[in-house]
Amino acid sequence: MMRVAVFASGNGSNFQAIVNAVKEGRLDVSVELLVCDKPKAYVVERAQAAGVPVLAFRPKEYASREEYERMILAELQARGIELIVLAGYMRIITSVLVEPYYGRMINIHPSLLPSFPGVDAIGQALAHGVKVTGVTVHFVDGGMDSGPIIAQQALDIQVDDSKDTLATRIQEVEHELYVKVIGMISAGRIKLEPDGLRVTVK
């Protein structure tokens, strides 16, 4: 069974969706760790309620990103983590984690990348007046939402959508798509090719 660590910074709805899918038998992985850069975030309470160990830290207590990532890496390796799942983790990832986990670290983003990378993707989509947005799951390469795309799902923007209503509908898509992709990875159906650019889906 694939050993997974989830990284999150806030409410943790995607973390909860993953944990629920495991509990209900829809996802055959073991969630071994939550990594959180905000010890008071609600996702920490979710993890504790689910019996998932928590590694919570305060970035300001470290001299650099690389320093706290070395601490995280040691914990991941000690627990035999095979897949890192970024689920609303609001920190840039450096090569300290990207290099040892390249092809084994994924992220979910609330737009159809490469459109609207970075923060406030939903607000960006509404401001640009696009009619279709969606959700992207991609491998992490250290850039800003720039890694090889694994899966996407489109979502029509309604005439009366506000940022909140659109965010709610996007989250529903995220919860389903992320669980599906994680399951496919654990089953060996998704692979990053040796060139580090192409994704094969079986």
Active site residues: 109
Stated as kind and residue range, the H or E segment containing 172 is helix 163-186
Rounded CA separation 106/193 (Å):
15
Angular region, 109: left φ>0, alpha ψ -120 to 50, beta rest: beta
Neighbours of 118 (CB within 10 A): 10
153 and 175 Cβ atoms separated by less than 8 Å: no
Nearest Cα neighbor of 107 from 133, 89, 82, 81 is 89
Bridge-partner residues for 29, per DSSP?
2
β pairing state of 149-156 and 132-139: antiparallel
* CA count, 13 A, side-chain hemisphere, 164: 0
Q: Residue 38, SS3?
A: coil
